[in-house]
Amino acid sequence: MGDRVRLLFLGDIVGRSGRTLVIQQLPRLIDSLKLDFVAINAENAAGGFGITEDIALELFEAGADVLTLGNHAFDQRSVLPFLDQDPRIVRPANYPPGTPGRGTTVVAARNGARVLAINLMGRLFMDPLDDPFARLDHELDSCRLGEDVDAILVDFHAEATSEKQGIGALADGRASLVVGTHTHVPTADHRILPGGTAFQTDVGMCGDYDSVIGMDKGEPLNRFLTKLAKERMSPALGPAMMCGVVADLDPGTGLAIRVAPLRVGAGLESTIPGFPG
């Protein structure tokens, strides 16, 4: 596996604008940053609501190793059989038993590292699913970092920053990278926690930032002003930016050595990690 394992996690893809940028730029980033593993939250990839099999396959072809989802996981009903069939796509593990798909998966990285991806969803201001803390505790006890797998990635799809930071604290020293998704705005708190887990409260989105969390501004503003829905919300289609986080892991322990944000495109200040090759 060499002297490090390098992971990229990209935040929520919102609609065509974000999807197109990711598909265009990801192969170049894999090569230039020498990435071993790429995970992407794709729960808003299909017109802002869910994902389709065709879109998932496009993202895999572009270089994604794992796709994570969230509260829009099942918006596109046609994708339900695919969630059961392809082990590279995961929905929140704390959905009730019998829900289509899986909440965890182990996928081999380009350098042979065994990567466990865990997807969970918060409960504050969201659907009252099963306890994500208890489920994460169980998953981390069942598959141990540095013993059963070489790296563990946790995507916690949640609204509240306190809940996301709590998940980070629970996973510290037991997971390689814990990222928050769902709020679509990148936070500035990327860091390595005391136990060695890389963490960012929210990695942001891949989409048009001249928007309201990726959606065309008209309908959200109408709803704020009138409290009435006039039409279905739709993704903004202007120039996109892809936001994510890159982490280098110690191949022996699976814990983080370095972590830095990645922002490529238009809308926010761009930054690419200057990690050694």
Q: Which positions are catalytic?
A: 72
Helix (H), strand (E) at residue 132: helix 132-142
Helix (H), strand (E) at residue 191: strand 191-192
* Position 179, amino acid: V
DSSP three-state, residue 56: helix
- Find all residues with CB under 8 Å of 104, minimum gap 6, and list them: 90, 93, 116, 117, 118, 119, 139, 143
Q: Measured between alpha carbons, how far is 57 from 157 in angstroms, rounded to an integer? A: 22
Q: Is 34 left (phi over 0), alpha (psi -120 to 50) or beta?
A: left
The tokens for 90 are 């995961």
- Find all residues with CB under 8 Å of 9, minimum gap 6, and list them: 38, 39, 40, 41, 153, 155, 177, 179, 203, 244, 245, 247
CA distances to 18, 53, 86, 135, 222 from 237, rounded to whole Å, are 8, 22, 29, 37, 19
Q: Measured between alpha carbons, how far is 121 from 155 in angstroms, rounded to an integer? A: 8
DSSP three-state, residue 139: helix
